[in-house]
Every structure is written in C-alpha cells, then in structure tokens.
C-alpha cells in the first residue's frame, strides 16, 4: 500500500481509503459479518483511512462494530455532521447549528465506539440555509470540540468546488473532502490544488466511480447526473463489456494514478471489492482502454450537476 501525508496534520494515510457509505445499505443490504470482514481485510492490506457519516444511515454503527478490538492508533477515522437522514426529505435534514454539532459529535463517538475522531467534516455545506452560519457558528463549535479532545482536525465537504474558496478565504481549515471531481469524466479538482496547497489544506478525494456512474452495473436510478452524462457513461460501460474490461477497475486505477490528493475514498461493502480495489493501487490502467473511454466521454468532460445553492 502507498501512503501520503494529509496536509500539515502529521497524518500518513493510505492512497486508497475505505468509503463506508455503502455499509449503510444504499446500494443493497450489507450484513454486519460482511462489513466486518471487509474492514478487517482492508486493514490487513494496509488501508488505514475510514470515512463515514450520520447521513449514511447505519454506516457509523456498522463501521464502529467492525473496528471493535482494532488498535485505535492503527487507523484514521473521519466522519461528518450537518446532514442527517429524514423520512420527509429525500435530500436529508440539514442542521449546522452549534447545539446539533455538539450532539452529532457525541452521537458519532458513541456509534463509532471511540473517544476521539481524527477528522470531523461539515457535510455538504452547499445546502446550508445561511452560509455564514458555517463560518460563524459551525466551525467555531467544531474547534471547541477539538479543544475538548473529542476531535483532532476539522474541515468541510461538498460537491461544488466553489464552496472551498468561499470558506478558506475567510477562515483556515485542516482538510477538505471533494467528491466526483477526480474521475474519468471530471478532473476539475486539479485546478484548485495550487490554491489548497497555498492554504496548507489536506485534500481527500472521493468517488472515483462518480457515485456509481462508472460502476460495472451502471448508475442507480436516483443518480442526479444529467441524462447526457448518464448515457455517455453507459456507452463507456458497453465498450468495456465488449472488450473484456471492468469499467470500475479502470476508473479506480486511473484516479489512483492521477488524482493530486492524499487519499481516494472508494465505497466498499465486501472482501471481494476491497481486494479488487487494493490490487490496482500503484498499477497503470490499460492505456488503450483509457483512451477509448475518454474519447467516449469527451463530449461530457467536466459536466456536473447542481447541488444545494450552487447551480
């Protein structure tokens, strides 16, 4: 496994990170036994970065149980706050208030069966009702949690890249998590790296499969991508099937080789996925296949979708 420094935090993280969102069941039921086996195999293969969130349904509880008995200093644990499941709103409930921050951190510590979180991120801040609340209330409260020893480092996550300068121009952060902008069809995070380096911010990349656009089964019906992007990805999948390639494997390998981030989070639910993804770390994806896929995706390069208040 390859390891990289995450910003200036003194953390050495595996190039491949374990995205634990699927452990909450959005792509299908996952048993605790399957999840525990996946997590333990990941640790054995050198993966030491685990990411979760209350928004991911039961993910925190499942991950916490899977890590019982594992030496706490052997892994880096990242979770989030501000976005929560809601039976009334498909996009979830957003609450970045100080009281909810404190409650969320305590709840996460309990679910994850630990007394300290390595990283706590404000989750999808583009959905905040008042963006100034993130600066004036949410982040200061998180820093109180740092002072109390409950959290080590703080940051933000979200889809639109514009959110990062919007925060960092006004307050420092330890780390950011950007997703769907280090993938075969969208490398736009590259443009922001010099700015983030100047701010001494650690960078976590996530979802090289673009939330399933590059999975070997195609995107889920709920995927927010515009139809033209979905169709292009299905064309890329068809090409891979005709030519004996796994689109998912190529997509992960390409991102791991090219993304200028400390760690890339890939959602995983079972041992087979962990082994498949770990096997491509440090490998070069087939160049002819990549060229063919990128030719198919050329008309939709850097095409994204609206999120929150950013369109």
Cβ pair 17, 50 in contact under 8 A: yes
**For position 220, which CATH number holds?**
3.20.20.100
Q: Is residue 144 part of a domain?
A: yes
Angstrom distance (rounded) from CA 268 to CA 39: 9
Residue-wise burial string across 218-244, b where 16 or more C-beta atoms lie within 10 A, e elsewhere: bbeeebebeeebbebbeebbebbeeee
Task: Quote the pLDDT of residue 6.
Answer: 97
Question: For the segment 225-255, what is each residue's pLDDT rounded down to a tens digit?
Answer: 999 999 999 999 999 999 999 999 999 999 9
Among 56, 75, 84, 179, the one annotated catalytic: 56
Task: Quote the pLDDT of residue 88.
Answer: 81
Strands 76-81 and 49-51: what pairing? parallel
Is the pLDDT at 170 greater than 90? The verdict is: yes
Task: Quote the pLDDT of residue 91.
Answer: 77
Is the pLDDT at 37 greater than 80? The verdict is: yes
Residue 179 is among the residues annotated as catalytic for this protein = no
The proportion of the chain whose per-residue pLDDT surpasses 90, expressed as a percent, equals: 93
Cβ pair 60, 79 in contact under 8 A: yes
Task: Quote the pLDDT of residue 64.
Answer: 98
Which residue in 173, 228, 236 sits closest to 203, CA to CA? 173
Is the pLDDT at 77 greater than 60? The verdict is: yes
Question: For the segment 180-215, what is each residue's pLDDT rounded down to a tens digit?
Answer: 999 999 999 999 999 999 999 999 999 999 999 999
Q: Is residue 4 part of a domain?
A: no
Return the SS3 of 266: strand
What is the token pair recorded at 246? 């796994």
pLDDT band per the 50, 70, 90 thresholds, residue 221: confident
Q: Is residue 244 part of a domain?
A: yes
Q: Is residue 104 part of a domain?
A: yes
Q: Is residue 2 part of a domain?
A: no
Task: Quote the pLDDT of residue 176.
Answer: 98
CA 199 to chain centre: 21
Tell me the mean pLDDT in the region 114-142.
97
Number of domains in the chain: 1
Angstrom distance (rounded) from CA 300 to CA 293: 12
Task: Domain of residue 248: give its range.
Answer: 11-300
The proportion of the chain whose per-residue pLDDT surpasses 70, expressed as a percent, equals: 99
Task: Quote the pLDDT of residue 26.
Answer: 73
Task: Quote the pLDDT of residue 90.
Answer: 77
Burial zone of 45 (CB within 10 Å; 0-12 exposed, 13-18 middle, 19+ buried):
middle
**Mean pLDDT, the chain, as a whole number?**
95
Q: Is residue 224 part of a domain?
A: yes
Q: Is residue 309 part of a domain?
A: no
pLDDT band per the 50, 70, 90 thresholds, residue 38: very high
Task: Quote the pLDDT of residue 310.
Answer: 76
Q: What is the DSSP letter of 19?
A: E
* pTM of this structure: 0.95
pLDDT band per the 50, 70, 90 thresholds, residue 311: low
pLDDT band per the 50, 70, 90 thresholds, residue 120: very high
Which residue in 228, 224, 232, 87 sits closest to 160, CA to CA? 224
Tell me the mean pLDDT in the region 14-36.
91
Q: Is residue 1 part of a domain?
A: no
């Amino acid at each position: 496994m390859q390891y990289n420094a995450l910003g200036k935090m003194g953390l050495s993280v595996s190039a491949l990170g374990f995205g634990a969102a699927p452990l909450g069941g959005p792509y299908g039921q996952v048993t605790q036994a399957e999840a525990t086996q996946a997590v333990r195999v990941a640790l054995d293969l050198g993966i030491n970065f685990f990411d979760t969130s209350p928004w991911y349904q039961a993910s925190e509880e499942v991950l916490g149980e899977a890590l019982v008995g594992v030496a706490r200093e052997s892994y880096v644990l990242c979770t989030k706050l501000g976005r929560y499941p809601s039976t009334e709103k498909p996009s979830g409930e957003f609450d970045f208030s100080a009281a909810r921050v404190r409650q969320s951190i305590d709840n996460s510590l309990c679910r994850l069966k630990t007394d300290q979180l390595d990283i706590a991120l404000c989750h999808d801040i583009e959905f905040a009702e008042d963006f100034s609340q993130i600066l004036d209330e949410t982040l200061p409260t998180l820093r109180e949690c740092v002072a109390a020893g409950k959290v080590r480092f703080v940051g933000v996550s979200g889809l639109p890249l514009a959110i990062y300068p919007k925060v960092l121009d006004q307050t420092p952060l330890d780390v950011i998590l950007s997703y769907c902008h280090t993938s075969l069809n969208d490398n736009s995070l590259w443009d922001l790296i010099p700015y983030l380096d100047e701010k001494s911010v650690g960078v976590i990349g996530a979802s090289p499969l673009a939330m399933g656009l590059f999975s070997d089964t195609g995107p889920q019906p709920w995927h927010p991508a515009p139809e033209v992007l979905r169709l292009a990805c299905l064309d890329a999948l068809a090409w891979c099937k005709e030519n004996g390639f796994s689109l998912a494997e190529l997509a992960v390998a390409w991102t791991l080789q090219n993304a200028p981030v400390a760690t890339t989070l890939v959602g995983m639910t079972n041992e087979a996925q962990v082994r498949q993804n770990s096997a491509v770390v440090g490998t070069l994806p087939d160049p002819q296949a990549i060229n063919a896929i990128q030719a198919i995706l050329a008309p939709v390069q850097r095409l994204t979708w609206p999120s929150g208040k950013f369109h």
